Chains A and B, each alone.
Chain A
Amino acid sequence: MKTRRRMNVATYVALFPAFIVVVFAYLGTMLWTVQISFTESKLLPTFAFAGTRQYERLFATSRWSISLENMVIFGIGLIAVCLVLGFLLAAALDQKIRFENTFRTIFLYPYAMSFIVTGLAWQWILNPTLGLQQYVRNLGWTDFQFDWIIRNDRAIYVVIIAGVWQASGLIMALMLSGLRGIDQELWKAAKIDGIPTWRVYVNIIIPMLRPTIITSVVLLSLAVVRVYDLVLALTGGGPGISTDVPAKFILDYLFGRANIGLATAASSILLVIVLVIITPWLYYEYFRPKRERR
């Protein structure tokens, strides 16, 4: 009875835009993309069924393998460094320090800026002939070397540095709000018990931050899968294709090389990766029957 009364034509009218978006923009396009990936489409979509040939081609393309490998390196590096740095910054800010607001503002401001800006700023600093390397050489260390941005085997680590600079403030903010949510009496109890501060963090606080850490990892993973503009602005995927990433690979094949069959196959792979990352998390966060926690 109660539910019936709250059902209403107006509700359906209000939900109509969201419904359209979900059906056409999300589900429809997703299915279409997957469908194209099983055809021989090149410049335009065709219906010539190709089985898994596009996928075979894709994984035979060395540029794709490099892109995937870069994504993994970037992902592991970014997530590991951001978690550690973000946590350390948050823990440091939680020690009743002076100028806490100033420090927090400084750590978080890069997150307000776009990846393009981040990439261009670091591209300039790491410029081997005019940037950091040259500056140190001018100081007297004439054989100082820091030219990672133009080295095939190191350029991807430069992307990590720039990514960490941009995103660790976010992790710091999340962790700090997690730390602030912890019952102060717990700290008091630990003090009475005579537990050293670092021990409290390791044995008590970090296990309590598990939800925050999971959220951070999911958010960073999504940023990793999506990473495109940062690479474009920082290295342009180079030198050569040494910092290429899947998102950039797809865009290039869609528009630059007009090979939509291969591009959609790559998109579908990304889709699967993301689904594997987030489905368990989404379930955990939103649809699990809520228990009383903490």
Chain B
Amino acid sequence: MATVSIRDLEIDFGTIKVLKTLNLEIGEGEFIVLLGPSGCGKSTLLNAVAGLLDVTAGQIWIGGKNVTWEEPKDRGIGMVFQSYALYPRMSVRGNLSFGLKMARTPHEEIEKRVAKASKILQIEPLLDRKPAELSGGQRQRVAIGRALVRDVDVFLFDEPLSNLDAKLRTELRVEIKRLHHELGSTMIYVTHDQIEALTLADRIAVMNGGVIQQLASPKEIYRRPVNRFVAGFVGSPSMNFVDGTLKMDADGAGFVLSDGTRLSLAGYEFAGTPKDGQAATLGIRPEQVDLVKTSDDATVLPIKLTMLEPMGADSLVWGHVSGTQFSVRIDGEDHVATPATVDAFFSPSQSSIFDKASGARL
């Protein structure tokens, strides 16, 4: 088991700053997901931890040891890649044992570790096959096995499921989660898929523009995104955003839409002290809106429904709130008539309010 600590890390590619003074502390046995759009620096960060590229400034510590200048093989890490990166002309067994042979590991020890890893990953029947004869899912299991035999404390995953089809992806996701429970190793996992992030992570680091926007548990990220970027990136379908102004008066906090409708924000926990008349954005997830009143403290939200989009288990209702496009998720069994103008309900304590200019949570 090992901690990973990234201290004031900076990485430039030429004149482009890919990572800007980044700090990240990862606890023993923790599963951290680096989530973000392509180009946000998440893979760069992972490669830096692996020692596959030089850092411009800062330090990387693994297991209490400063490894900033260490070679990848000496860092006590195993890594799994998007393209599997299996050695194509070697059998599965060869793939698993090649690195150990290079490190002059005793023969029996290699046998033992290969046997153990292939048992955990259920790839024993595949040991004598070539990578070309395996399916994508099997290949990725072998790639994980190659990291496993290294007997390391930290596993790095670089978008390991992106090349798989949807069904296999789900399957292997569960497998990786099981592996984490079984091994208890520290894992750092890079993905742009928020479902993977939400399902796997102990904590998610949402990245954008070379900066960690928010580092928190999946629940926290989903419920209380720190800014508009995180709010918009996590959750599917995406959070609804409606512009307006804050109104702090005798009735308590309120949010005034562009058409003059005032929504009560009673129950919303402001991060600071909001200013009266401040331009703001109200963010409500589609699943946090009801078309029927369920609780008394719910705020009424007038919405003009235009279209119903059935998706099986649930349906999306599309419409407009004060001229802005808005979606509501309802149970697949329910039916609503469109077009229609109805009152919807949301609970302010679940919603998010962002400063319009900076995007930061209010």
* Residues of chain A having any CB pair with chain B under 8 Å: 183, 185-186, 188-196, 199, 203-204, 207-208, 292-294
Contact (Cβ within 8 A) A186 B87: yes
Contact (Cβ within 8 A) B81 A193: no
Partner of A294, one of B71, B79, B81, B88: B88
Give Cα A186–Cα B139 distance, bound, in whole angstroms: 14
* Residues of chain B having any CB pair with chain A under 8 Å: 47, 50-52, 71-74, 77-79, 81-83, 85-90, 98-99, 102-103, 132, 143, 146-147, 150, 158
Partner of A204, one of B50, B74, B82, B87: B87
Interface of chain A: mostly helix, strand, loop or mixed: helix
Partner of B82, one of A185, A192, A293: A185
Contact (Cβ within 8 A) A194 B103: yes
Contact (Cβ within 8 A) B88 A208: yes
CB-CB nearest 4 A-B residue pairs: A194-B73, A193-B99, A207-B89, A185-B85
Q: Which of chain A's residues has its CB closest to B81's CB? A: A185
Give Cα A294–Cα B130 distance, bound, in whole angstroms: 11
Known: A185-B81, A293-B132. A192 touches B87 (CB 8 A): no
Closest beta carbon of chain B to A15's beta carbon, Å = 37
Partner of A195, one of B81, B86, B98: B98
Contact (Cβ within 8 A) B99 A186: no
Give Cα A195–Cα B47 distance, bound, in whole angstroms: 17
Contact (Cβ within 8 A) A203 B98: yes
Provide a sorted-by-A list of 29 A–B residue pairs whose CB atoms are within 8 angstroms.
A185-B81, A185-B83, A186-B87, A188-B50, A188-B81, A188-B85, A189-B79, A189-B81, A189-B143, A189-B146, A190-B87, A191-B52, A191-B73, A192-B77, A192-B78, A192-B99, A192-B147, A192-B150, A193-B98, A193-B99, A193-B146, A193-B150, A194-B73, A194-B74, A194-B103, A195-B102, A196-B102, A204-B87, A204-B89
Contact (Cβ within 8 A) B85 A183: yes
Contact (Cβ within 8 A) A199 B89: no
Q: Which residues of A contact B81 (CB under 8 A)?
A: 185, 188-189
Q: Which residues of A contact B71 (CB under 8 A)?
A: 191, 194
Contact (Cβ within 8 A) B89 A194: no
Partner of A188, one of B79, B102, B146: B79
Give Cα A204–Cα B90 distance, bound, in whole angstroms: 8
Q: How many A-B residue pairs have CB under 8 A?
A: 72
**A185-B158, A194-B102, A293-B132 given; 9 more Cβ-contact pairs under 8 Å:** A185-B82, A185-B85, A188-B79, A189-B81, A192-B77, A192-B78, A194-B74, A203-B98, A294-B132
Give Cα A294–Cα B98 distance, bound, in whole angstroms: 19
Closest beta carbon of chain A to B84's beta carbon, Å = 8
Q: Which of chain A's residues has its CB closest to B100's CB? A: A193
Q: Which residues of B contact A194 (CB under 8 A)?
A: 71-74, 99, 102-103
Q: Which residues of B contact A196 (CB under 8 A)?
A: 102
Give Cα A188–Cα B73 distance, bound, in whole angstroms: 11
Contact (Cβ within 8 A) A193 B82: no
Contact (Cβ within 8 A) A183 B73: no
Q: Which of chain B's residues has its CB closest to A294's CB? A: B88
Q: Which of chain A's residues has its CB closest to B50's CB? A: A192
Closest beta carbon of chain A to B132's beta carbon, Å = 7
Give Cα A196–Cα B50 distance, bound, in whole angstroms: 17
Q: Which residues of A contact B52 (CB under 8 A)?
A: 188, 191-192
Q: Which residues of A contact B158 (CB under 8 A)?
A: 185
Q: Which residues of A contact B89 (CB under 8 A)?
A: 204, 207-208
Give Cα A208–Cα B102 distance, bound, in whole angstroms: 20
Partner of B102, one of A183, A189, A193, A292: A193
Q: Which residues of B contact A292 (CB under 8 A)?
A: 132
Q: Which residues of B contact A204 (CB under 8 A)?
A: 87-90
Give Cα A231–Cα B103 distance, bound, in whole angstroms: 51
Q: Which residues of B contact A189 (CB under 8 A)?
A: 79, 81, 85-87, 143, 146
For B71, B79, B87, the residue with the greatest tally of chain A CB atoms inside 10 Å of its CB is B87
Q: Which residues of A contact B143 (CB under 8 A)?
A: 189
Contact (Cβ within 8 A) A192 B79: yes
For A188, A192, A199, A204, the residue with the greatest tally of chain B CB atoms inside 10 Å of its CB is A192
Give Cα A89–Cα B48 distance, bound, in whole angstroms: 30
Give Cα A186–Cα B89 distance, bound, in whole angstroms: 12
Give Cα A208–Cα B85 distance, bound, in whole angstroms: 13
Q: Which residues of B contact A193 (CB under 8 A)?
A: 73, 98-99, 102, 146, 150
Give Cα A293–Cα B132 distance, bound, in whole angstroms: 7
Give Cα A192–Cα B158 distance, bound, in whole angstroms: 13
Q: Which of chain B's residues has its CB closest to A292's CB? A: B132
Contact (Cβ within 8 A) B87 A203: yes
Q: Which of chain B's residues has its CB closest to A200's CB? A: B87
Q: Which residues of B contact A199 (CB under 8 A)?
A: 102
Contact (Cβ within 8 A) B150 A186: no
Give Cα A183–Cα B158 distance, bound, in whole angstroms: 14
Q: Which residues of B contact A183 (CB under 8 A)?
A: 83, 85
Give Cα A271–Cα B27 distance, bound, in whole angstroms: 71
Give Cα A293–Cα B86 distance, bound, in whole angstroms: 13
Known: A185-B81, A293-B132. A192 touches B88 (CB 8 A): no
Closest beta carbon of chain A to B157's beta carbon, Å = 12
Known: A192-B77, A193-B98, A193-B146. A186 touches B85 (CB 8 A): yes
Closest beta carbon of chain B to A190's beta carbon, Å = 8
Closest beta carbon of chain B to A114's beta carbon, Å = 39
Give Cα A191–Cα B51 distance, bound, in whole angstroms: 9
Q: Which of chain B's residues has its CB closest to A206's CB? A: B89
Q: Which residues of A contact B74 (CB under 8 A)?
A: 194
Q: Which residues of A contact B82 (CB under 8 A)?
A: 185
